[in-house]
Chains A and B, each alone.
Chain A
Amino acid sequence: MATVDVLPESEALYWRTRVDAERLRHQGRLWTLSAVFHVIPFLGAAALLMWIQPLALPVALACVAHAWVIPELYAQRGANVLRPRGRLEDGPEQRSVGLLGDLVGDEARELHARTGLVLEPGKLGTWLVGEAGAVLLHGRRRRAYCYCIKVDASHPGAGGLPAGDRIAHLLLALRSDEQGFATVANLAFAGARWRLRRRVRREMRPALDAVPFRLDSASTAAG
């Protein structure tokens, strides 16, 4: 049987560094640095204003609000990768969920029914796969890496896929080459899980909660 080890979609993106634990750690640090450089100037300006002139309190509060809002906007961007897309008629939707159910175990099937997300353990960490994106919880602290990835819309057959099929496409690609999957996907956000949790839809939060904070053999290399 002629098999393919590397995700073909990732081969086309030859300029991208293939994602591994080290690359994830690097990306996570960059996101943390970026957040710090967005927040510190505003907090510093607020403190400076209060020191110079306490009557500038409203302006200082506006600076603090900016320092709070900017990381929240980034987290919202990350949460958006899990947002469900439109639904088709019941028939195709049910058939697609049936096929997806055949691909996963009982626990993952039950979690999908409640949250719309499929939990998939991998070597880099634990994945939550949605219809147009996936979140990787990686490392000891389970930092969340939110990836935007979906069925290639340029293909004639890509239009009108039911929700279960959209997830199954991503799941099969992920299972065949996890690193390639993360390489093809666009990173929308990397940051603390609690920050992401606040921004995802309420019904999806149990899926994030289902990934325990623990040391495991799969993803202790970073975080």
Chain B
Amino acid sequence: MSKLIRMDHTGHSTVAEWTAGDPAAVEAAVAALREELDRGYLAMVSTGPGHAEQVRELPVDAELVILRLPVAGG
């Protein structure tokens, strides 16, 4: 089961869950991701130790997609 989670004041919240073989769940996850991107979140996928990529579309095969907020110099 793959997960789309958002880091927030609760620690993190699960926004969507899907499996690649469930088109309805994938569609719901795609819509949820789009909504979060529109709210200004950035979607990140780990691509190995010490590496992450920002994605603009749902990577259906990824186990975990994390939504983060933009960062800025303090």
Contact = CB atoms under 8 A, between A and B. Distances in A.
A133 B74 contact: yes
A92 B11 contact: yes
Interface residues of A, number: 53
B52 A165 contact: no
B64 to A, nearest CB: 8
Given A99-B11, A172-B68, A4 B74 contact: no
A160 interface: yes
A154 B72 CA distance: 10
Given A94-B11, A95-B11, A3 B55 contact: yes
A92 B9 contact: yes
B74 A132 contact: yes
Interface stretch (A144-152, A191-199, A205-213): A144-152
B53 A169 contact: no
B7 A165 contact: yes
Nearest to B46: A103
Contact of A93 (B11, B44, B74): B11
Interface residues of B, number: 34
A152 B71 contact: yes
B52 A172 contact: yes
B54 A149 contact: no
Interface in B24-64: 39-42, 44-46, 49-57, 59, 64
Contacts of A175: 46, 50-52
Interface string A172-205: 1101100001001110000000000000000000
B4 interface: no
Contact of B74 (A8, A149, A154): A149
Given A132-B74, A152-B70, A169-B69, A4 B9 contact: no
Contacts of A105: 49
Contacts of B22: none
